[in-house]
Each structure stands twice: as structure tokens, then as C-alpha cells.
A = this chain, B = another copy of it.
């Protein structure tokens, strides 16, 4: 049931992404290469499910939900560049600059970010004021105060011992803010009340943290083949992680608390919140 619905949302997004009018140029080939590299599409799925949870029609939001995946993909391409993490592989495939080259990868990232904003702003059958709010919130979530700011903190924090509050701040910015924006996009454009939106925002903050803790745990316990990337890299690079600060069991306990908090925030949604509640469990239990 959960899986069927997840796949349904995910397939709507895949279908939309495949239908984007990108041409056969080198630039577009590079954009498509990373865009269809088989992510979990969790940000668009969160947006569509949140819209449905507040009684909205997810089908009219497929384009804006998918825009979040373009923005996420841009961040992965730039993250992998030699001047950043210098990763040769991503999801078991060559990273964009390895498949193409640095120039094209840089520009494909720039173009995906920009195209994301174009899709967010294309006309929709929703209140245009709310749509502008969504454009603004998404930009904030991935800008200097959000994702890019988190990237910088993460870079500066490498090879340095970080405190618990340091790593919470980095993750909140680097991955949490966009996950939160995804949920809020669905909740706001789906026509949620202020109370709905507030509860879903609390839900999103907790699954954002849970998502990152799980990433850290998978880097210790995960299967490299299933993950499509090597494990143990955090420990090898002496990176400050949840397990390095809390111990593996402590990190798992923190993960479970976040999931419980997330589910608690949307308890009053009853059946309407069931999928999101299961999604929280999915994040905690995922193998990749």
C-alpha cells in the first residue's frame, strides 16, 4: 500500500521529467544524464503527499514538485565537482563531470537550478500570491542561508572536530531546509490551513534530521552495492557524524526519536496523514 503510493507519486514525477522539452545539445544531455540517474525523488514525493494530506489535488502540482528534483540534482552535480567533494561516482554511475567534463557539469548544474525556478514560476491553477511565496521559500531554502550556506559550513568543518549543535546546523541547512520547503510547497499550494502548514513543517524538520542520521548510519552499516557508493568514507575521512558524536546506538536512538516526533506532529491528520507517517518509517528503515 505505502510502496504502491510511493511508486505512483514517483512515476508521475519520472513521467514529467522525461517530458521536459530538453533538446539533444551537449548541455541538455548533461542535464538529463544526472536528472534521470535514478534518485528516490523524495522531495517531489513529499510535496505531492503533503498536498494530498491537506486535501489538495497533487496532480496540478506535479510540475512544481518536480522542480524540486531539478534543484536537488543541480546540488549533487556541483557537490561532486573536483573543487568540492571530487567524487567520481554518484548512484553507481560516473559523476557528471567524469561523464562529460568540468565545464559542462558546472553549466548543467547552473541550468538545472535555473530551470527549477522557471518551472516553479510557470502558471498554475493556484493563488499566484501563494505561488510567489513558494518561489521565495524555495530560494531561501537552497540559498546562502540554506543549502549553499550549509555546503560552506560542511566544507569548512572538514577535518575539524564539530560539536553536536554544529552538525545539526549543517544538516538543517544542507539537506533539512529543502526537505522542509518541499513539504511546505505541497501544504501551501494544496490549500492547507495555517495549522496544517505548521504541523507539516514540524514533521518536515524531524524527517530532515532523520534522513541525515540515517545517511550517517548507512555509511557504517549499509551495503556498498545497494547504496551505489562506498561505505566507511566518513570514518576514513575523520568526518564528524552523528555516530561519531553519539555512538552508533546513540545515533539510532536519536533517529527513532526524530521519527516519533515527526509522526506525532501529524497525528491529528488521522488517515490523511497515513502515507506521510509511513514515509517517516521508510526513511528510518531504508537500505539506500
List A residues at the B interface (Cβ < 8 Å).
22, 25-28, 31, 78, 81, 83-84, 101-104, 106-107, 109-111, 113-115, 117-118, 120-123, 128-129, 131-133, 135-136, 139-140, 142-144, 148-149, 151-152, 155-156
Asked whether A114 and B144 contact (CB < 8 A) given A83-B103, A103-B84, A136-B122, the answer is yes
> Which residues of chain B are within 8 angstroms of A103 by Cβ–Cβ distance?
83-84, 155
Report the minimal beta-carbon distance from A196 to chain B, rounded to whole angstroms: 22
Asked whether A144 and B111 contact (CB < 8 A) given A27-B149, A128-B128, A139-B117, the answer is yes
Asked whether A144 and B28 contact (CB < 8 A) given A106-B83, A118-B139, the answer is yes
Distance between Cα atoms of A103 and B152 in the complex (Å):
8
Establish whether residues A144 and B78, one from each chain, have CB atoms under 8 Å apart when the complex forms: no
> Can you name 5 extra interface pairs (CB under 8 A) apart from A110-B148, A121-B121, A128-B129?
A25-B144, A28-B144, A78-B106, A115-B143, A128-B128
Distance between Cα atoms of A25 and B143 in the complex (Å):
14
> Which residues of chain B are within 8 angstroms of A136 by Cβ–Cβ distance?
118, 121-123
Q: Which one of A101, A128, A136, A139 has the greatest number of beta carbons of chain B within 10 Å?
A: A139
Distance between Cα atoms of A100 and B22 in the complex (Å):
35
Distance between Cα atoms of A100 and B47 in the complex (Å):
37
The residue in chain B whose Cβ has the minimal distance to the Cβ of A148 is: B111
Distance between Cα atoms of A101 and B128 in the complex (Å):
40
List 18 A-B residue pairs with CB atoms under 8 Å apart, sorted by A's residue number.
A22-B144, A27-B149, A28-B144, A31-B144, A106-B106, A107-B148, A109-B110, A111-B144, A111-B149, A114-B144, A114-B148, A115-B139, A115-B143, A115-B144, A118-B143, A121-B132, A123-B132, A132-B135
> Which residues of chain B are within 8 angstroms of A22 by Cβ–Cβ distance?
144
Establish whether residues B152 and A110, one from each chain, have CB atoms under 8 Å apart when the complex forms: no
Asked whether A139 and B155 contact (CB < 8 A) given A106-B84, A148-B27, A148-B107, the answer is no
> Which residues of chain B are within 8 angstroms of A104 by Cβ–Cβ distance?
152
> Which residues of chain B are within 8 angstroms of A152 by Cβ–Cβ distance?
25-27, 104, 107
Asked whether A142 and B114 contact (CB < 8 A) given A83-B102, A149-B25, A156-B26, the answer is yes
> Which residues of chain B are within 8 angstroms of A120 by Cβ–Cβ distance?
135
Establish whether residues B143 and A114, one from each chain, have CB atoms under 8 Å apart when the complex forms: yes
Establish whether residues A139 and B110, one from each chain, have CB atoms under 8 Å apart when the complex forms: no
Establish whether residues B131 and A118, one from each chain, have CB atoms under 8 Å apart when the complex forms: no
Distance between Cα atoms of A102 and B117 in the complex (Å):
25
> Which residues of chain B are within 8 angstroms of A143 by Cβ–Cβ distance?
111, 114-115, 118
